[in-house]
């Protein structure tokens, strides 16, 4: 997929997964039976993975991770809103010639990334 950005970083997304959970307490009284108490739910957590190209985008992601600020996630469909970068994983990919970003040099490094985003509401 193309035309994705997180902040100013152009990302080439391979997967997007939204996860969430309810806050439930399960009580088992001595008399038998189970009682469920609902206390609400957590906001969805978005997990994104894919590729970035270049040392500049790598450095920018690391700066964004450390900043504590939120940044806009933009997809081909729309802007999804502002998200905090909860965690970040970057792994260099062995490549001879990158063709993902023609605006960068052929020998620019390619990194596989994954991160978790918490929506700022």
Query: Residue 99: which CATH number?
Result: 2.40.30
CB–CB of 38/23 below 8 Å?
yes
Q: Which of 115, 118, 97, 92 is nearest to 107 (CA)?
A: 97
Beta bridge partners of 118: 45, 84
Look at the chain and report how many structural domains it folds into. 1
CB atoms within 10 A of CB 1: 12
- Domain with 15, as residue range(s), is 4-119
| Segment 5-47, tens digit of pLDDT | 999 999 999 999 999 989 989 888 888 888 888 998 888 899 9
Considering the entire predicted model, what is its pTM? 0.82
């Amino acid at each position: 997929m193309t035309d994705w950005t997180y902040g100013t970083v152009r990302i080439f997304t391979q997967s997007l997964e939204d996860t969430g959970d309810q806050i439930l307490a399960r009580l088992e009284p001595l008399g038998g039976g189970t009682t469920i108490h609902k206390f609400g739910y957590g906001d969805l957590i978005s997990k994104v993975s894919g590729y970035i190209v270049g040392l500049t985008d790598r450095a920018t992601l690391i700066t964004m991770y450390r900043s504590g600020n939120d940044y806009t996630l933009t997809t081909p469909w729309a802007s999804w809103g502002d998200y905090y970068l909860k965690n970040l994983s970057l792994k260099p990919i062995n490549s001879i010639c990158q063709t993902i970003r023609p605006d960068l040099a052929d020998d620019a490094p390619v990194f596989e990334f994954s991160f978790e985003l918490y929506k700022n509401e």
